[in-house]
């Protein structure tokens, strides 16, 4: 851990990225036994990090079920005891939700799983989902102090265990609270919308979530494949929200089926969590040939089936090339392999070190048989007389001189062209904030430099009563940042409606 990664709040205590003070374990939670015993504190000396059991790659290729299994009881306790309970919990700083990780790890080490889950649920509306999809190596585990000497505590796998334990043993509940007489409309049912709705419902607001698609969950169900996050896990969470009293209206696009003005008339506040699902296109000759498809469209068709109304792309026996190196690209490769692709190759213009995808997902893709072609960029898609793509013309790339920000951008090497076979090309070049519906009522909402919705420190937009968060504001990012924004917006809405803003 380098000093530059730690924020210090007034008073010298460490702070999260938002400046919130992080209080050491023993001051925070009276139920946890406080500082670890010396035996526990040095457990990491004698015990290495273990990963949760993972299904064999050959077996994984044949289905879409999640690939990781749960730790057993003894392993989860032993792994949690590897936490040294440092006075300054850097893992909390690494978590965008400031999850009280050392506290629940101390309880897990003592076998007090339900109490541990209760604490983990306090800072997240979906800890069992974040535990599955967060790239912990870049967040909590990447900040674990143990990293200086050993492997970090497997925080994500332990959090998954305790929350699954809670679901199985009645520790994941959703009580209704006394209505406070006010109502909020939430537009979009992705992690931002869900978290905002959940936090508001807990404060007594009557919340209705409007979702354009036939199924709630946003990219948790449409985009992220089941081998990372099974749909039942999302449905189980949505079911809890409904039991809390939140109403979901599917098949309802705000700005098309219902105007925004109607929501502003009928509700005390509106939250926009419309996501970032505007895909960047492949701008080369032949880019529109049959067989070329945007990665998200491909994944939505695979995830939702015919109900999605997205055309499915035949994969079986074909050579699939995925362009791009992010998480979406890894998901496409692994989906193509499960769909029976003859070969699934990723083409990325930088090298392995610069791959933006999580290392864990890159490793999983390699294990399952994906191939990688680094330092190459597409110049043209070549087709047959039927207009179907058959090859890609690529150029080798090399890094240029550092630009004003010190970054060395890759560029095509003149004369280095070569061809590779491709019958399906999936374009995973990134996603921008979902544009506003084509209606003048949205024009008063100001946009930011990312093309997303501009918000203030309360997540309020330039239009009073209208709040926003998640990928709709920040552009494509992680689930955990959408959850954080949903919470921030709920707090902002509560302050606004109780006259405290």
Cα separations in angstroms, 359 against 141, 159, 231: 13, 19, 23
In the bound complex, what is the minimum distance in angstroms from residue 129's beta carbon to ligand FAD?
Answer: 9
In the bound complex, what is the minimum distance in angstroms from residue 485's beta carbon to ligand FAD?
Answer: 7
Give Cβ neighbours of residue 337 (< 8 Å, ≥ 6 apart): 61, 344, 368, 369, 370
Q: 14 or 469: whose CB is closer to ligand FAD?
A: 469
Stretch that binds ligand FAD, among 72-80, 185-193, 340-348, 406-414 (CB under 6 A): 185-193
In the bound complex, what is the minimum distance in angstroms from residue 10's beta carbon to ligand FAD?
Answer: 32
- Least Cα distance to 14 among 256, 113, 3 occurs for 3
- Least Cα distance to 210 among 183, 249, 179, 154 occurs for 249
Give Cβ neighbours of residue 288 (< 8 Å, ≥ 6 apart): none
Q: 76 or 296: whose CB is closer to ligand FAD?
A: 296
Q: Is residue 213 involved in binding ligand FAD (CB under 6 A)?
A: yes
Q: 52 or 190: whose CB is closer to ligand FAD?
A: 190
Q: Is residue 191 involved in binding ligand FAD (CB under 6 A)?
A: yes
Tokens 């968060």, located at residue? 469
Hey, how many other C-beta atoms are within 10 angstroms of the C-beta on 66? Answer: 19
> 71-130: which residues touch ligand FAD (CB under 6 A)?
none
Hey, how many other C-beta atoms are within 10 angstroms of the C-beta on 152? Answer: 22
In the bound complex, what is the minimum distance in angstroms from residue 63's beta carbon to ligand FAD?
Answer: 19
Q: 113 or 372: whose CB is closer to ligand FAD?
A: 372
Does residue 200 contact residue 469 with C-beta atoms inside 8 Å? no
Q: Which of 153, 157, 254, 289 binds ligand FAD (CB under 6 A)?
A: 254
Q: Is residue 434 involved in binding ligand FAD (CB under 6 A)?
A: yes
Compute, in degrees rounded to 10, the torsion defined by CA atoms 451, 454, 459, 464: -130
Q: Is residue 219 involved in binding ligand FAD (CB under 6 A)?
A: yes
Q: Is residue 255 involved in binding ligand FAD (CB under 6 A)?
A: yes
> 459-498: which residues touch ligand FAD (CB under 6 A)?
470-472, 477-480, 482
Give Cβ neighbours of residue 450 (< 8 Å, ≥ 6 apart): 432, 433, 473, 474, 475
Q: 32 or 184: whose CB is closer to ligand FAD?
A: 184
- Residue 399 has what DSSP assignment? E
In the bound complex, what is the minimum distance in angstroms from residue 290's beta carbon to ligand FAD?
Answer: 23
Q: Is residue 212 involved in binding ligand FAD (CB under 6 A)?
A: yes
In the bound complex, what is the minimum distance in angstroms from residue 220's beta carbon to ligand FAD?
Answer: 6
Rama region for 375: left / alpha / beta (φ>0; ψ in -120 to 50; rest): left
- Residue 284 has what DSSP assignment? S
Q: 210 or 496: whose CB is closer to ligand FAD?
A: 210
Strands 371-374 and 343-348: parallel
Please tell me the distance from the alpha carbon of residue 47 to that of residue 122, in angstroms, as a whole number. Answer: 30
In the bound complex, what is the minimum distance in angstroms from residue 385's beta carbon to ligand FAD?
Answer: 34
- Report the SS3 class of residue 34: coil
Q: Which of 95, 140, 299, 497 binds ligand FAD (CB under 6 A)?
A: 299
Stretch that binds ligand FAD, among 136-144, 272-280, 304-312, 454-462 (CB under 6 A): 272-280
In the bound complex, what is the minimum distance in angstroms from residue 470's beta carbon to ligand FAD?
Answer: 2
Give Cβ neighbours of residue 403 (< 8 Å, ≥ 6 apart): 409
In the bound complex, what is the minimum distance in angstroms from residue 109's beta carbon to ligand FAD?
Answer: 27
Q: Is residue 410 involved in binding ligand FAD (CB under 6 A)?
A: no
Stretch that binds ligand FAD, among 190-198, 337-345, 410-418, 442-450 (CB under 6 A): 190-198
Q: Is residue 302 involved in binding ligand FAD (CB under 6 A)?
A: no
Inter-axis angle of helices 155-168 and 113-122, nearest 10 = 110
Q: Is residue 455 involved in binding ligand FAD (CB under 6 A)?
A: no
Please tell me the distance from the alpha carbon of residue 199 to that of residue 267, in angstroms, as a whole number. Answer: 17
Q: Which of 109, 133, 140, 395 binds ligand FAD (CB under 6 A)?
A: 133
Hey, how many other C-beta atoms are within 10 angstroms of the C-beta on 407? Answer: 9
Per-residue interface string for the shown chain with ligand FAD, residues 323-362, x marking contact by CB under 6 A: ----xx--x-------------------------------
Q: Which of 253, 351, 390, 458 binds ligand FAD (CB under 6 A)?
A: 253
In the bound complex, what is the minimum distance in angstroms from residue 469's beta carbon to ligand FAD?
Answer: 7
CA atoms within 13 A on the CB side of 82: 25
Locate all alpha helices (DSSP H) within 169-256, ordered by sequence. Answer: 191-202, 219-222, 231-243
- Residue 231 has what DSSP assignment? H
Element spanning 482, H or E: helix 479-497
Q: 224 or 395: whose CB is closer to ligand FAD?
A: 224
Q: Is residue 211 involved in binding ligand FAD (CB under 6 A)?
A: yes
- Report the SS3 class of residue 471: helix
Q: Is residue 187 involved in binding ligand FAD (CB under 6 A)?
A: yes
Q: Which of 134, 186, 199, 323 binds ligand FAD (CB under 6 A)?
A: 134
Does residue 51 contact residue 42 with C-beta atoms inside 8 Å? no
User: Where along the sequence are the contacts to ligand FAD (CB under 6 A)?
Assistant: 133-134, 187-193, 210-213, 218-220, 223-224, 228, 253-255, 273-275, 277, 296, 299, 327-328, 331, 434, 437, 470-472, 477-480, 482
């Amino acid at each position: 851990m380098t000093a530059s990664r730690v924020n210090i709040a007034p008073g010298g205590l460490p702070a999260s990225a938002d400046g919130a003070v992080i209080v050491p374990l023993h001051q925070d939670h009276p139920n946890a036994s406080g500082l670890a015993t010396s035996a526990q504190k040095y457990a990491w000396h004698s015990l290495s990090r273990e990963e949760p059991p993972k299904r064999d790659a050959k077996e994984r290729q044949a289905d879409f079920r999640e690939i990781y299994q749960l730790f057993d009881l003894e392993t989860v306790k032993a792994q949690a005891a590897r936490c040294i309970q440092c006075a300054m919990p850097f893992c909390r700083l690494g978590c965008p939700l400031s999850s009280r990780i050392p506290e629940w790890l101390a309880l897990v080490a003592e076998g007090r799983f339900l109490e541990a889950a209760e604490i983990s649920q306090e800072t997240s509306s979906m800890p069992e989902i974040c535990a599955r999809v967060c790239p912990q190596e870049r967040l909590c585990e990447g900040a674990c102090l143990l990293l200086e000497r050993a492997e970090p505590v497997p925080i994500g796998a332990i959090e998954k265990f305790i929350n699954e334990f809670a679901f199985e043993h009645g520790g994941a509940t959703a009580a209704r609270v006394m209505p406070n007489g006010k109502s909020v409309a939430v537009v979009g049912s992705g992690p931002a919308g869900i978290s905002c709705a959940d936090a508001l419902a807990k404060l007594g607001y009557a919340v209705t979530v409007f979702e354009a698609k036939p199924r709630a969950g946003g990219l948790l169900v449409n985009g992220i494949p089941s081998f990372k996050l099974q749909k039942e896990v999302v449905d189980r969470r949505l079911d809890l929200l409904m039991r809390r009293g939140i109403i979901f209206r599917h098949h309802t696009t705000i700005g098309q089926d219902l105007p925004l003005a109607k929501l502003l008339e009928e509700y005390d506040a509106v939250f926009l969590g419309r996501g970032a699902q505007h895909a960047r296109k492949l701008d080369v000759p032949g880019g529109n040939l049959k067989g070329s498809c945007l990665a998200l469209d491909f994944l939505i068709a695979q995830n939702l089936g015919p109900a999605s109304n997205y055309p499915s792309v035949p994969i079986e026996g074909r050579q699939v090339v995925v362009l791009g190196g992010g998480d979406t690209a890894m998901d496409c490769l692994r989906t193509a392999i499960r769909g029976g692709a003859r070969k699934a190759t990723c083409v990325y213009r930088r090298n392995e070190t610069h791959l933006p995808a999580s290392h864990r997902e890159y490793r999983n893709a390699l294990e399952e048989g994906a191939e990688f072609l680094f330092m190459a960029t597409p110049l043209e898609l070549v087709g047959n007389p039927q207009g179907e793509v058959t090859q890609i013309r690529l150029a080798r790339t090399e890094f240029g001189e550092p630009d004003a920000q010190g970054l060395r951008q890759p560029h095509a090497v003149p004369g280095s062209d070569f061809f590779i076979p491709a019958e399906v090309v999936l374009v995973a070049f990134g996603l921008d904030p979902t544009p506003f519906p084509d209606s003048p009522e949205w024009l008063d909402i100001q946009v930011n430099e990312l093309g997303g919705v501009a918000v203030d420190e309360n997540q309020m937009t330039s239009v009073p009563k209208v709040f926003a968060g998640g990928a709709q504001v920040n552009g494509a990012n992680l689930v955990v940042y959408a959850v954080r924004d949903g919470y921030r917006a709920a707090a902002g809405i509560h302050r606004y409606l109780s006259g405290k803003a």
